[in-house]
Amino acid sequence: MSAGRNGHVAGQVDDTLPEDVLLDIRGLTKHFPIRRGLLSRTVGQIRAVDGVELQVRARRTIGLVGESGCGKSTLGRCVLRVYPPTSGELLYRRPDGNVVNLAPLREQDLLPYRRQIRMVFQDPFSSLNPRMTLLQIVGEPLKVTKVVPADEIEDRVADLLRRVGLRPEYIRRYPNAFSGGERQRVGIARALALSPRLVVADEAVSALDVSVRAQILNLLKDLQETEDLTYLFISHDLGMVEYMADEVVVMYVGRVVETAPTDELFERPLHPYSEALLSAVPDPDPTAAKRERIILRGEVADPSQVPDGCPFHPRCFYAQDRCRTEPPPLREIIPGRQAACHFADELHLRGIPEAAVSSGR
Ligand code: SF4
């Protein structure tokens, strides 16, 4: 691990997290500079993630939702420390109970955490090297980190394949011998190879046929139980999030605009943006009375030119004068539920009745 000779742990902070919190994201921002001209002068900032506060509880699934360009994937990559955050803290509870801030750590100090926080990629076709066998693909992290003796890697890979529902006899085959769903199982086996604690699944089933999505989602759920996993499940598809997540975090232009237990968000959203996203969830029962879809005006705001006041106001059907000048803070509206809307306590927004969602599973 990253403990030094005198017991010092790089990034350790004198902080206590609630017992069940694995990751506490505090004030996280990720800005990308816009450079122009011969001298590459910085002329602006893309505020991809802007002051995100979020607690990820152990062995739970957080669903991160929003339209394309709302910052959810950038947030996932900051958690993985693929992107170094511009500011803010990523407080992570180590297996020994100590809390470290991953945000400022240098690459060498991040190594132990790279084993504990892994990613399942979106596209099982491009994320697997076609020239490597399953043994090489899944065994690579074991080989690089030397956590398993070289002569035991094959047994470990065979066991991982079994755990994700693939036959160990396939171990010397190449990815092109497999379907999309099977390839995603290989990707999951690779993510599990180092026994992670937190898995970031970014659109993990979006590239798959509808017919195999449910199988992969069920596999992820089963593995959560057997491997004690915590998921950050990033998706633009609220139907899948409803199936997978215990809690939902809705993002808009790099900010969290609503957090809620999944069933409560679906039943009654508190933010107009959540209401619009929910209205686009297809109705699984064609005989049911049609739910009215809310068609939002325009596109997600440009994160390099975030509107004044509430960033959602140019698209919001409930906007009032105050919304154009005063940014609404994310605040608790009712116990366990937060929203960033001045009028969240007054609006009566439409969700999806429980029966309509459940019947779609
Ligand atoms: Fe709409 Fe105003 Fe609420 Fe923003 S603060 S979501 S513009 S009602």
Verify that 85 and 184 share a domain, yes or no.
Answer: yes
Once rounded to an integer, what is the mean pLDDT over residues 304-316?
95
Residue 7 lies in a domain: no
Nearest to 266 by CA among 288, 243, 284, 235: 243
- CB 323 near ligand 1, within 6 Å: yes
272 lines ligand 1 (CB under 6 A): yes
Average pLDDT over residues 245-269: 96
The CATH number of residue 88's host domain is: 3.40.50.300
Position in ligand 1 atom list of the atom nearest CA 320: 2
In this structure, is residue 1 part of a structural domain? no
User: pTM of this prediction?
Assistant: 0.91
Residue 361, pLDDT > 80, answer no
Is residue 258, in this structure, part of any structural domain at all? no
How many domains does the chain divide into? 2
- Chosen domain end from 229, 245, 261: 245
Query: Distance between CA atoms of 180 and 124, rounded to whole angstroms?
Result: 6
What's the average model confidence in pLDDT over 83-105?
95
Tell me the pLDDT tens digit for each residue of 133-184: 999 999 999 999 998 999 999 999 999 999 999 999 999 999 999 999 999 9
Judgement on whether residues 240 and 280 belong to the same structural domain of the protein: no
Residues 76 and 232: beta-carbon distance below 8 Å: yes
At 185 the pLDDT is 95
Q: Has residue 71 been placed in a domain?
A: yes
Query: Are 167 and 285 in the same domain?
Result: no
> Rounded to an integer, what distance in angstroms lies between the CA atom of residue 207 and that of residue 184?
10
CA of 323 to the centre of ligand 1 (A): 6
- The verdict on the CB of residue 316 being under 6 Å from ligand 1 is yes
Alpha helices (H) along the chain: 72-79, 107-116, 134-145, 153-163, 180-192, 210-227, 238-244, 262-267, 272-279, 354-358
For the Cβ of 347 lying below 6 angstroms from any atom of ligand 1, the answer is no
Same domain, 41 and 133: yes
Domain with 225, as residue range(s), is: 12-245
CA 295, CA 196: separation in Å to the nearest integer? 40
Q: Tell me if 5 is assigned to some domain.
A: no
Of all protein residues, the one whose alpha carbon is nearest to atom 7 of ligand 1 is 313
Q: Specify if 4 maps to a domain.
A: no
72 and 63 Cβ atoms separated by less than 8 Å: no
Cα-Cα-Cα-Cα torsion 13, 19, 22, 24, nearest 10 degrees, comes to: -60
Sequence-ordered list of residues with C-beta below 8 angstroms from that of 28, at least 6 positions apart, any chain: 49, 51, 52, 53, 54, 75, 78, 85, 87, 88, 89, 90, 103
Same domain, 20 and 119: yes
Are 280 and 238 within one domain?
Answer: no
Q: Do 78 and 30 share a structural domain?
A: yes
Let me know whether 128 and 88 are in one domain.
yes
- Assess whether the C-beta atom of 174 lies below 6 angstroms from ligand 1: no
The pair of structure tokens assigned to 220 is 């992820």
Phi, psi (deg, nearest 5) at residue 149: -55, 145
Distance CA 220, CA 231 (A): 9
Same domain, 49 and 182: yes
**DSSP characters over 276-343:** HHHHTSPPS-TTSPPPPP---SS-SPPTTSPPSSSTTGGG-TT--GGGGTSPPPPEEEETTEEE--TT
Looking at the structure, do residues 285 and 229 belong to the same domain, yes or no? no
Q: Report the alpha-carbon distance of residue 211 to residue 205 in Å, rounded.
A: 11
Task: Tell me if 118 is assigned to some domain.
Answer: yes
Indicate if 221 and 287 belong to the same structural domain: no
Q: Are residues 222 and 280 in the same domain?
A: no
CB atoms within 10 A of CB 130: 9
Assess if residue 80 is contained within a domain. Answer: yes
- What pLDDT band is residue 360 in, cutting at 50, 70 and 90? very low
